[in-house]
A and B are shown apart, each in its own frame.
Chain A
């Protein structure tokens, strides 16, 4: 864990770019976060990446808070702050700047073509995120069983995710996984 200015600057740049390339929402950027921090820089393992992602999902607050956990793991508390500001800042500035214009052209053909064109790309990116998180999380039949059960509960029922997460954590705690 290093929080020297160079590391923080690199972290800022990385997440600031992702902020503007996270089409459809923050989750679309997860594969690139994994690529940069796990595959290229090797700052953490597959497993650690998935665990941090899971903690962010289970904790209160927006799930994009995952970048704070990632930033903290890489560069401590300053890293958490830098990653959060970088991930949220550029897209917020853009959103505030163009919201009036984009709203005015809500029914314009170019606006609708862009919207329709982004949908399948977003789907591909979320599927890629799912693959990456699952790869880091599922190593034995027990974890596969938890993944399958959670999928069924979230997809098929209106059960609150926090109940499902609590059950999964409890199952792990008593030695199921």
Chain B
């Protein structure tokens, strides 16, 4: 499930959407030639990506790993991304940890995470500013505009993700998506509870679909 939009509603299409698997001979050569990065290099590289990328880190992480540093081939990146989308949790964070672990073991994973999550310091500053000034009338308009834009971006993400469903015949997948939306979005039931029921059902249906093919 490699959509061009990440789960937060921000388009990952800058600078370029994560492309489908492509032969990438140039970066493959670089990947072989590149020496294994040091712990410090890993941390700095992810810190650089994190602090300079607005609106979705994924595309910028790809550019750094594949094009600039040559630490992975395009194919390796796509495979790892697919894996991280398969597993629970924030995709880019998982990707960064698994990559770091493959390079330098647990210290490598921690170094990458520290770099990627460095902006938490910035968030603490932003959070403090919000608590202090967020309710001021001068801020009211700006925050309202920003929040309305964020809503539009998440709706766009949801629609882009739903597109593949529009193309297939109405079936159990549509029922599962709708049931999840109603249970979590409208009825406001507990997420873990809903997932414990609906995920096994959905996987069972997918298993049977595979039978029919």
User: Which of A58-75 touch B at CB < 8 Å?
Assistant: 58-66, 68-69, 72-73
Query: Knowing A116-B206, A172-B142 touch, does A35 contact B191 (C-beta < 8 A)?
Result: yes
The stretch that binds A, out of B27-35, B37-45, B51-59, B63-71, is B51-59
* Interface of B, helix, strand, loop or mixed by DSSP: helix
A48 lies within 8 A of B8 (CB) = no
Q: How far is the CA of A17 from the CA of B192 in the complex (A)?
A: 8
Which residue in chain B gives the minimum CB-CB distance to A112? Answer: B210
A94 lies within 8 A of B156 (CB) = no
User: Which of B186-213 touch A at CB < 8 Å?
Assistant: 186, 188, 190-192, 195, 198-199, 202-207, 209-210
Q: How far is the CA of A169 from the CA of B142 in the complex (A)?
A: 5
Q: How far is the CA of A96 from the CA of B164 in the complex (A)?
A: 30
User: Which of A67-113 touch B at CB < 8 Å?
Assistant: 68-69, 72-73, 77, 80-81, 84, 87-88, 90-92, 94-96, 98-99, 102-103, 106, 109-113
The tally of residues in B whose CB lies under 8 Å from a CB in A reads: 103
Task: For A81, list chain B residues within 8 Å (CB).
Answer: 120
Query: Knowing A123-B158, A138-B151 touch, does A173 contact B145 (C-beta < 8 A)?
Result: yes
A31 lies within 8 A of B191 (CB) = yes
Asked if A54 is at the interface of the complex by the 8 Å CB criterion, the answer is yes
A47 lies within 8 A of B147 (CB) = yes
* Interface of A, helix, strand, loop or mixed by DSSP: helix
Asked if A147 is at the interface of the complex by the 8 Å CB criterion, the answer is yes
A52 lies within 8 A of B120 (CB) = no
Query: Knowing A124-B184, A137-B144, A165-B149 touch, does A72 contact B56 (C-beta < 8 A)?
Result: no
B residues in contact (CB < 8 Å) with A: 1, 5-11, 13-14, 50-57, 79, 83-94, 97-98, 101, 106, 109, 113, 116-120, 122-124, 126-128, 130-131, 134, 140-162, 164-165, 173-174, 176-181, 183-186, 188, 190-192, 195, 198-199, 202-207, 209-210
Closest 7 CB pairs of A and B: A91-B89, A172-B145, A124-B180, A150-B152, A25-B7, A128-B185, A61-B119
